[in-house]
Amino acid sequence: MPRPRVLDARVPHPSTVALSLPNRADSALGFRLVLSHALLLLLLLILLLLPAPIPCQESSPGGVMTLDAETAVSMALERNLDVRSERIDLATRRRTRDTAWNRLLPSLSTGAALSHSKTYGSGQASSSAGGVSPWSLSLSVTTRLSLDGSVVFSIRKTILEYEAERISLEDAERMLTRDVKKAFYSLLLQEAEIGLIEQNIETARTSYDLARKKYDGGLVSEVEVLSAQVNLASLGPELEEAQIAYRTGLMEFRNVLGMEPDVELRLDGELDGFAAGVPVVPEGHFSSRPDVRLLIKETEILETEKRIVTTEEFTPALSLSYSYSGTLADPFGQPWLDVESWSRNGRLSIAIDVPLDPLFPASSSRVRRAEVEDALRKKELALTAKLRDARVQVESIVLTLNKSIRTLDALRKNVELARRIYAMREAEYGAGLSELLEVQKAFDDLREAELDVLTERYNYRAALLDLEYALNTRL
């Protein structure tokens, strides 16, 4: 019986080779999966670390920006050139105020002089006598302190000027806030007006087409066709004029906000989103107005200026000075660092200056003080006039608001009537008792009545903004 054949262990079996190939493929596939997951995780981390987009900012030139009233005010306060200029003025005043104390410091100066001397005698000029060098070097240090009462008042004046500039910036910001909101709502009103004109044009076109059909059928005369055509043609320039006014207002509004001219602006707001009511005017708010506070501060500045003039022109001034000097007789022959080679001296001076000009009636000192006193009296009169004008202004605005409230009541009734007429025309058209043109005209009348309400609401809101600015408060 033949013996079975034994395979060599060093030769791989075919089944073993077949099984080893799939194992290598699985390893490569697993490596690719791990690599793809790592790349995906890295991408997610990059997206998480990216900064979030800032709302209401133009991402690129020529983009679209949507603004509401409050966002427009914030943007204007940040970008408006006039307000930014006021902030620079305030920073300048702050720096002057913070460094005003240096007027109390003594002045310090130093000097150096190199001189050459000649001696003339016996018809000849000699540059030295007895072997003495004709050259000499002198160094000096001088300090001086003026004790004048006007310095204290000058420091006080810089503080008051800073406070006045801060009030001026506050007034500019409040005025800009009012103007931006009024411009924003005015643009909304103009958009509504343009929409109404476009609706009127569609109605006029329908009326013209209907008149043309009736004329072709011999139902109306040519006069009615021409009248409808004139009515349609007259609305074109009206629409163009409204669009030009809107684009002009939009450009001015964009300029106030500091926006690029190629950014498209969309307004997000409404005029009928508030309830009109009679505002309650608080008492004692006239003195808190920025313009009144600014006049009060300017009056204080003039009073301080008067004290400065009085102390400068009418009171004695004390000054202290000390100088220290050293002279080197031969700077080219003696060592500079040898203290014994220098001749030194110091000098202390105490001086008092008593002005005598004020003793004369027509002196410049008296004239200067009289001019400041005149300016002070004029400023006090201006303050009195400003308080009276403020009261009249507030009362006038309140009358305007009351009138707007009464007008709104009447206009709302007109809207209700126009809405009822429009509903009746629709019912008649559905029953075949009227034409489509009558329905469109009734709808146009309803739109016009609603626009009248929006216009009066804008007038009320604009007057309310004026009142808030006049009282320096939020109503």
pLDDT tens by residue, 260-303: 877 788 888 887 666 566 667 766 677 888 999 999 999 999 99
Closest to 309 measured CA to CA, from 398, 261, 374: 374
Closest to 146 measured CA to CA, from 96, 101, 105: 105
Q: How many CB atoms lie within 10 A of CB 158?
A: 20
Backbone angles phi, psi at 348, to 5 degrees: -110, 130
Q: What is the pLDDT of residue 103?
A: 85
Q: Does residue 17 carry a pLDDT above 50?
A: no
Tokens of 206: 């329908």
**Who wins on pLDDT, 435 or 97?**
97
Q: Does residue 31 carry a pLDDT above 50?
A: no
What's this model's pTM, rounded to 2 decimal places? 0.73
Share of the chain above pLDDT 90, in %: 37
Calpha distance 368→370 (Å, rounded) = 5
Pairing of strands 342-353, 317-328: antiparallel
37 confidence band (pLDDT: 50, 70, 90): low
Helix (H) or strand (E) holding 266: strand 264-267
What distances in angstroms separate CA 114 from CA 9, 136, 323, one per listed residue? Answer: 111, 6, 18
Q: How many CB atoms lie within 10 A of CB 11?
A: 8
Q: What is the pLDDT of residue 94?
A: 95
Contact 283, 198 (CB under 8 A): no
Tokens of 326: 């050293």
pLDDT tens by residue, 224-253: 788 778 888 888 898 999 999 999 999 999
pLDDT tens by residue, 154-175: 999 999 999 999 999 999 999 9
Residue type, position 362, single letter: A
Q: What is the pLDDT of residue 305?
A: 94
Q: Does residue 85 carry a pLDDT above 80?
A: yes
Q: What is the pLDDT of residue 220?
A: 72
Mean pLDDT for 403-412 is 90
What letters, b where the CB count within 10 A reaches 16 and e where it falls short, cover 195-213?
Answer: ebbeebbebbebbbebbee
Q: Strand runs (DSSP E) across 415-468, as ranges?
A: none
pLDDT tens by residue, 296-316: 999 999 999 999 999 988 888
- Return the C-alpha torsion angle 226, 232, 237, 239, nearest 10: 170
Q: Which domains does the chain have, with CATH numbers?
A: 64-113+134-332+344-471 (1.20.1600.10)
Average pLDDT for the chain: 81
pLDDT tens by residue, 97-146: 999 988 888 889 999 998 888 766 555 555 555 557 788 888 999 999 98
- List beta partners, residue 340: none
Q: What is the pLDDT of residue 234?
A: 85
Mean pLDDT for 403-408 is 90
What distances in angstroms separate CA 99 from CA 89, 147, 151, 260, 314, one per listed residue? Answer: 16, 18, 13, 39, 27
Calpha distance 388→226 (Å, rounded) = 59
Q: Does residue 4 carry a pLDDT above 60?
A: no
Calpha distance 395→467 (Å, rounded) = 9
Tokens of 11: 């030769």
Q: What is the pLDDT of residue 215?
A: 82
Full 3-state SS string of 349-402: EEEEECCCHHHCCCCHHHHHHHHHHHHHHHHHHHHHHHHHHHHHHHHHHHHHHH
Residue type, position 89, single letter: D
Closest to 176 measured CA to CA, from 248, 256, 87: 256
Backbone angles phi, psi at 237, to 5 degrees: -60, -35
Closest to 133 measured CA to CA, from 115, 147, 159, 156: 115
Tokens of 229: 């055509």
Helices and strands, number each (H, E), in the chain: 8, 8
Spatial neighbors of 263 by CB under 8 A, at least 6 apart, are 58, 61, 62, 63, 64, 65, 254
Mean pLDDT for 28-49 is 57
Spatial neighbors of 172 by CB under 8 A, at least 6 apart, are 82, 83, 86
Calpha distance 58→40 (Å, rounded) = 31
